[in-house]
Chains A and B, each alone.
Chain A
Amino acid sequence: MVHINEDSYVNWIEQLCLSTWESVYRLIYFKVQNREEAEDITQETYVRAIPYLQKNRVPPDKQMAFLKTVALNIIRDRWRQHQRRGTTADLEAIAPKEVASEDPAEWSVQRIAIEKALNQLSKEQRTVIELRIIKGYSVAETARIMNKKETTIRVMQHRALQALNRILHDETK
């Protein structure tokens, strides 16, 4: 156990959070796609990772990768809990030297795949997805813009997402 005095521990926590939070938050948001949950998981990530980082003196260049791995584990853990409660992420099982770094290049590959898949949809399907999900319009606003009934928009977005899901699955086969 590394003993450091309380003030410098607090300073170290502050420095770590302030210098890394944005990347950690972005990764979490990328996965959960809503601010409320992303903020919540970001906080949990630091609360769970810091005692380990401090105890094991993880070098600064590995800290970010470790934080990201903890964040991903918390997300996976949460998803798992929804299916069968009780499993928790085992921090000791994460070897700081081998942690996976979420590579922004992978995000770009995913992005290109999604954009390509979107282009394979019909124009109407693409529009409904763009308005509802990318621009964030409500069903009522989308219905007004597309000159359709709200119920039609709900049916259209459901079908468009089914089609997109199929295309994305076919691509990865």
Chain B
Amino acid sequence: MHDNERRLSDYIDQLNAEKKPKEHEHSAADPELQELFHTVRLVRSLREPAMPERNFPAKLVRTVTDQLVPTKPKKKKRAWMASIVGIAAVLALSLLMHIVSLFDQPNIVKAMEKAFQDVNAYHGFLEIVETNAQGKTTTQAKLEIWADKQGRYYIQELEGSNKGLITVNNGQTKWQIHHSEKQVHRFSAFPDPYRFAFELGNEIKEIKQAVSTKTIGEEKAANRPSWVVEVTPQGGEPYRIWIDKETHLPLQKQYAMHHGIQYKITYTKIEWNDAIPEKLLAYHVPKGFQEINQNPEQIVANIGEVNEIIGFLPDVINQIPAGYVQDRIAIVPDKKLVKIYYRASNKEIVIIQGKATGKWKLAPNAMVGKIHQQTAEIQSPVVEEAGVLGAGGSYAGLTDLHSIRWRQNGFEYAVIGHADLEDLVAFTKELTNGAFEMPAKEEPSSSKPKVNVPVDLEQEKNDQKSVDAGSSPWKLDPVFVAQVFVSLQMSPEGITGDYPIRYEDLRIVQNNGKEAVVEVNADNAPIKRVYLKRLIRQDATGIWTVVGYDPAS
């Protein structure tokens, strides 16, 4: 019996991991156990199915075609074999096919990742060229760039509207030297909203996360033989990237034509180095220049100093998650906040802590986690700077920045970072003694609407395209979508003037990034709860659609 309990539990674990249980391969001898496995599957059928990865349909077509149409490549070869010249051409073609296939997904990503692993720092000259619909090209800017894998950089604008501007981030501080005004502006090093276009690490990361990559030809870029690859990113128009045949690293990027303008960014020259020269990363104010400090932070030596200046001892984590080291402690005196910085290779996380003030309110687009029955706000990426986040700096719109924010024992905390969400979860769990829970991937069966709302998927797909192109951004906000839905139920003839219910009357009660439930707290509203789903794309760029509601009565 004890063995059956364990086997049943293992079976559930396998299904939860979306893996084929070994019992589906070799039948369980015990008929009672088989019955129970069947019952598990029945109960599990109450959940929505776990859908395959986005590239599954393409993979399916490829696998099926490969198995059912095996003659395809041979036929092409036979056609070429008609002459001696043909044979040579076949050899050249198959060699090219071989090389090209090496660089198709996922090998292209692997090759670039591998090549980039060996790079510590690089120095290059970047040219940004604009082409209009009539084909006229204009050089927008020329930059000299030094960058390393720790995220430090030195950028000088050689040509363009900010000619002469130097922007540096050495990991400790960030500054801009404005030669024309003879000023040095100093900022906090993190978070850093400045991103120079075509930073190689980010570029490779983006290609890695792309929906698809396809080698479409060969061409020279910056006079170097390159492969031309078409990349279809997650959310957005396909773009082209030129990859150096020798170094396997990106050299040039061309965006899709948008509103009659197309940009092409090229490293006209690039070389690989061990490090950025120290003198470039040393903060200094040139003679005759004025320093303007825009960094609200003040570095302190230890936690004790924090207590003396802002009046409380911040929580610290006992066990720093693997790979990270504590970097520095800073305070924002006028906001009475403390910020503890942690750093790992190419990643940075900050814990912000301050006394809880005002009403606790979640950012509308946030996923909702839990800490001791209280809600925790998870933003991936950060869209709104609520609570201590807002007091800690300007983060919104930095796509690779994530945050978790919550309240506990009269304090408000935020863990924010340029790192995977899993890393932020590890820090949050440390700070909450393991009490933090991410939202369940699938909502429980209790989260079903009383009234279902029919959905036109084709219409949703078109709406998603419009939002991708910049129209109707409110469809990315589940609260706003719910407000419009409830308002239209109240005024079916259309809304003129103010909405019949206020945005503030709605509150997110569940959100796991794929499904959300919004509660309506207005006496006049005919609806109590609105159920929404991200039907087309389940990430921050996916629109929300109302799929059901609970009437108020």
Contacts and interface: CB of A to CB of B under 8 A. Distances in A.
B136 interface: no
A116 to B, nearest CB: 12
Contacts of B61: 13-14, 17-18
Contact of B65 (A14, A51, A78, A161): A14
Which interface class (under 10, 10 to 19, 20 to 34, 35 or more) fits A?
35 or more
Main secondary structure of the interface of B (DSSP, over half): helix
Interface in B115-137: none
Contacts of A25: 49, 51-52
A22 B535 CA distance: 14
B43 A17 contact: no
A87 interface: no
Interface of A is mostly: helix
B445 A134 contact: yes
Contacts of B64: 13, 17, 43, 46-47, 50
Contacts of A37: 20, 24
Interface stretch (B9-17, B268-276, B317-325, B350-358): B9-17
A114 interface: yes
A136 B16 contact: yes
Interface in A91-150: 107, 110-111, 114-115, 118, 129-130, 132-139
B440 interface: yes
Contacts of A139: 9, 13
A22 B36 CA distance: 28
Contact of B57 (A21, A33, A51, A135): A21
B27 interface: yes
A161 B36 contact: yes
Contacts of A3: none
A17 B57 contact: yes
Contacts of A1: none
Interface stretch (B68-76, B252-260, B525-533): B68-76
Contacts of A133: 12, 15-16, 40, 43-44
B5 A118 contact: no
Given A134-B43, A134-B46, A157 B12 contact: yes
B35 interface: yes
Interface in B46-102: 46-47, 49-52, 56-57, 60-61, 63-65, 67-69, 71-72, 75
A108 B63 CA distance: 33
A163 B8 CA distance: 14
Contacts of B445: 115, 130, 134
Interface in A10-51: 10, 13-14, 17-18, 21-22, 25-26, 29-40, 42-43, 46-47, 50-51
Given A34-B19, A35-B50, 11 more contacts: A6-B69, A6-B71, A10-B65, A18-B57, A40-B20, A110-B45, A132-B12, A133-B12, A134-B43, A139-B9, A164-B43
Interface of B: 4-6, 8-9, 12-21, 24-27, 35-36, 38-47, 49-52, 56-57, 60-61, 63-65, 67-69, 71-72, 75, 440-442, 444-445
Leading 9 A-B pairs by shortest Cβ distance:
A82-B27, A35-B18, A29-B49, A37-B20, A136-B16, A158-B5, A33-B41, A154-B5, A165-B39
27 contacts: A6-B69, A6-B71, A6-B72, A14-B61, A14-B65, A32-B24, A33-B41, A47-B63, A114-B42, A130-B445, A134-B46, A134-B47, A135-B444, A136-B440, A138-B16, A139-B9, A154-B5, A154-B6, A155-B5, A157-B5, A158-B8, A158-B36, A164-B43, A165-B35, A165-B36, A165-B38, A165-B39
